[in-house]
C-alpha cells in the first residue's frame, strides 16, 4: 500500500486521462494511491471522474479518486503532478490559424496557444514550489521542449517532460519487416526532433536493414501505401533527411518541424510529393483528419459515460498502455530502476548543447531520481542545421515571453521562413493580439 497523490492537470482530456487511470490501476506498487482529476471544464471533469470510478470498480482496484476545478486543491499534498492541459483547446488554435493564413502563413504560426501554454506551465511550476515543493512535475502538454526548459530555468520544481514520439522506432522496425519486440534503440535530440543513433534487432546493428529496405523496397512501399493521412514516418521526406544528415528521423520529427524542413512544406503539392498522397500531418487534409479523430474520441467518451450498462473496460482493456508516465512514477516511488525516454536539462548528456537546455535522451529512473544517459555528439551537420535551429527558435520564444518585449515577439515572426516582409509580420502580429482570447497577451507584450 502506498500513500501517493497523483494529480492530473487538464484531466478533461478523457482518452489520455483514462489511459493514465488504467496504468495506475494495474500497478501493484501504487495500490492505495490517490488520483486527483483537475480541469476548469466541470462537464468534462465529471465525465472523466465518472468513467474512472466505474473502471476502478470493474478492475476492483484499490485507489482513492477525487475531482476538483481548483488547481490549489489538486496541488495540495501532491507527490506527482501530470500537466496535460491545453489552454483554450483547439478552437482558439483554429481561429488563430485562419488569421495566419489570411496573412500568408499556411497552417498559421502557432502564436497565442504557444504563449498561453508557457504561461500556464510556469504558473503551475511556481505554485508547486509553494504548495508541494518536493513533488515531481511530469509535463505532457506541448510545447514540451520550450516549456520544460522554461520551468527548469525559472523554478526549482523537479520537471520531467514526456512524449511518445520515440515509439516511431518500433514503426520503423515494423515497416522494414522486423519484430518490434526484439528491437532496442537510442533516439536523442530535443522534443519532436529526435534521431536514431543506435538501432538493433536481436542485439545486432539493424541500420544496414534500413539501408537495404530503402534500396530494394522503399519505392514499392510509397507506390502502394494506403494508410492514415497522419503517417509520414517512413516517407520520402524521412529517407531524404536520413541521406542528408546521416541519421534516421524518429516519430513526428519529419512532419512536425517545418522550422528546419520547410522545403518539404512549401505547398500542398510539395507535401504530397514528400509525405503521402494526402500531404501528411500538417496538410489541410491531415489536420482535419486529426481534429475529426479528436472529436470522435470525445463523442465516444460522452456516449460511454451516458451508458452505465456498457463496461468502461470494453473501451479501455485492462492492459498497460505504452505511455511512460505511471511506470516512471512507480520507478521513483518503489525504486524500480529502468530506462525511459525523458526530457530533462542536458547537463552534458548530449554533446554540443548548453547544460540548461532541455534535451530528449534516455534516462535511468529509480528511487534516486532521474539520471540522463550520456549519448555523446550527433553528426556535426545535424547538430548545427537541425537541432541548432530548434534551439534558436526555442530561445527566441522564451526571450519574447520573459522580456515581455513586443519587438522580441515581432522578431519571432520575422524569423519564420514564410515571412516575406516586415509589414506582413507586423500585420499578422497585431491581428493575432487583437483576438478576444489574446487580450492578456496584448497586455503582456509591451
Catalytic positions, written as ranges: 164, 252
Cβ-contact 315, 347 below 8 angstroms:
no
Strands 338-345 and 198-201: unpaired
Q: Can you tell me the distance from the alpha carbon of 80 to that of 138, in angstroms, rounded to the nearest whole number?
A: 7
Q: Which three cell numbers stand for residue 310?
A: 456498457
Strands, E, within 91-135: which ranges?
Answer: none
Cβ-contact 42, 72 below 8 angstroms:
no
Q: Can you tell me the distance from the alpha carbon of 361 to that of 129, in angstroms, rounded to the nearest whole number?
A: 26
Query: Shortest CA distance to 35 belongs to which of 16, 46, 49?
Result: 49
> What are the Cα distances from residue 290, in Å, to 230, 238, 259?
8, 20, 21
Max intra-chain CA distance, the chain: 62
Give the count of beta carbons closer than 10 Å to the beta carbon of residue 20.
25
Q: How far is CA 70 from the centre of its chain?
A: 24
> What are the Cα distances from residue 243, in Å, to 214, 236, 327, 385, 397?
10, 11, 36, 14, 30
Q: Can you tell me the distance from the alpha carbon of 122 to that of 97, in angstroms, rounded to the nearest whole number?
A: 25
Unique residue bearing C-alpha cell 476545478? 69
Burial level of 168, CB count in 10 A (0-12/13-18/19+)? buried
State in Å, rounded, how far the first CA of the chain is from the last one: 52
Cβ-contact 386, 260 below 8 angstroms:
yes
Burial level of 378, CB count in 10 A (0-12/13-18/19+)? buried
Residues sharing a CB contact under 8 Å with residue 175, sequence separation 6 or more, in sequence order = 213, 221, 233, 234
> What are the Cα distances from residue 310, in Å, to 44, 51, 55, 61?
19, 11, 11, 18
SS3 content of the chain, % helix, strand, coil (to 5): 50, 15, 35
Amino acid at each position: 500500500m502506498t500513500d501517493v497523490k497523483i494529480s492530473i492537470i487538464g484531466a478533461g482530456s478523457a482518452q489520455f486521462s483514462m489511459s493514465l487511470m488504467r496504468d495506475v490501476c494495474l500497478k501493484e506498487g501504487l495500490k492505495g494511491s490517490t488520483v486527483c482529476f483537475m480541469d476548469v471544464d466541470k462537464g468534462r471533469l465529471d465525465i472523466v471522474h465518472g468513467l474512472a470510478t466505474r473502471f476502478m470498480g470493474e478492475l476492483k482496484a484499490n485507489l482513492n479518486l477525487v475531482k476538483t476545478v481548483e488547481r490549489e486543491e489538486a496541488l495540495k499534498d501532491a507527490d506527482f503532478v501530470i500537466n496535460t492541459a491545453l489552454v483554450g483547446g483547439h478552437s482558439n488554435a483554429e481561429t488563430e490559424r485562419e488569421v495566419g493564413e489570411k496573412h500568408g502563413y499556411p497552417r498559421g504560426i502557432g502564436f497565442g496557444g504557444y504563449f498561453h501554454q508557457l504561461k500556464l506551465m510556469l504558473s503551475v511550476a511556481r505554485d508547486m514550489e509553494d504548495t508541494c515543493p518536493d513533488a515531481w512535475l511530469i509535463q505532457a502538454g506541448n510545447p514540451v521542449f520550450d516549456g520544460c526548459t522554461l520551468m527548469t530555468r525559472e523554478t526549482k520544481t523537479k520537471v520531467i517532460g514526456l512524449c511518445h514520439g520515440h515509439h516511431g522506432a518500433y514503426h520503423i522496425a515494423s515497416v522494414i519487416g522486423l519484430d518490434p519486440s526484439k528491437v532496442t534503440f537510442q533516439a536523442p535530440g530535443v522534443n519532436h526532433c529526435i534521431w536514431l543513433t543506435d538501432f538493433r534487432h536481436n542485439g545486432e546493428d539493424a541500420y544496414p536493414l534500413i539501408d537495404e529496405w530503402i534500396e530494394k523496397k522503399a519505392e514499392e512501399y510509397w507506390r502502394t501505401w494506403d494508410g492514415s493521412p497522419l503517417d509520414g514516418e517512413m516517407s520520402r521526406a524521412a529517407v531524404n533527411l536520413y541521406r542528408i544528415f546521416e541519421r534516421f528521423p524518429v516519430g513526428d520529427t519529419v512532419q512536425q518541424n517545418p522550422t528546419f524542413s520547410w522545403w518539404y512544406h512549401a505547398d500542398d503539392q510539395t507535401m504530397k510529393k514528400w509525405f503521402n498522397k494526402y500531404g501528411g500531418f500538417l496538410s489541410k487534409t491531415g489536420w482535419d483528419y486529426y481534429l475529426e479523430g479528436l472529436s470522435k474520441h470525445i463523442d465516444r467518451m460522452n456516449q460511454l459515460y451516458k451508458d452505465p450498462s456498457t463496461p468502461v473496460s470494453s473501451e479501455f482493456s485492462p492492459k498497460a498502455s505504452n505511455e511512460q508516465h505511471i511506470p516512471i512514477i512507480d520507478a521513483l516511488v518503489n525504486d524500480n530502476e529502468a530506462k525511459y525516454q525523458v526530457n530533462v536539462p542536458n547537463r552534458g548528456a548530449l554533446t554540443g548543447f548548453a547544460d540548461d537546455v532541455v534535451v530528449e535522451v534516455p534516462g535511468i529512473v529509480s528511487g534516486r531520481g532521474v539520471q540522463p544517459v550520456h549519448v555523446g555528439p550527433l553528426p556535426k551537420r545535424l547538430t548545427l542545421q537541425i537541432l541548432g535551429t530548434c534551439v534558436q527558435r526555442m530561445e527566441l520564444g522564451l526571450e519574447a515571453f520573459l522580456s515581455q518585449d513586443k519587438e522580441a515577439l515581432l522578431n519571432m515572426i520575422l524569423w519564420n521562413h514564410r515571412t516575406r516582409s516586415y509589414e506582413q509580420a507586423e500585420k499578422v502580429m497585431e491581428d493575432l493580439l487583437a483576438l478576444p482570447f489574446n487580450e492578456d497577451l496584448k497586455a503582456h507584450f509591451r
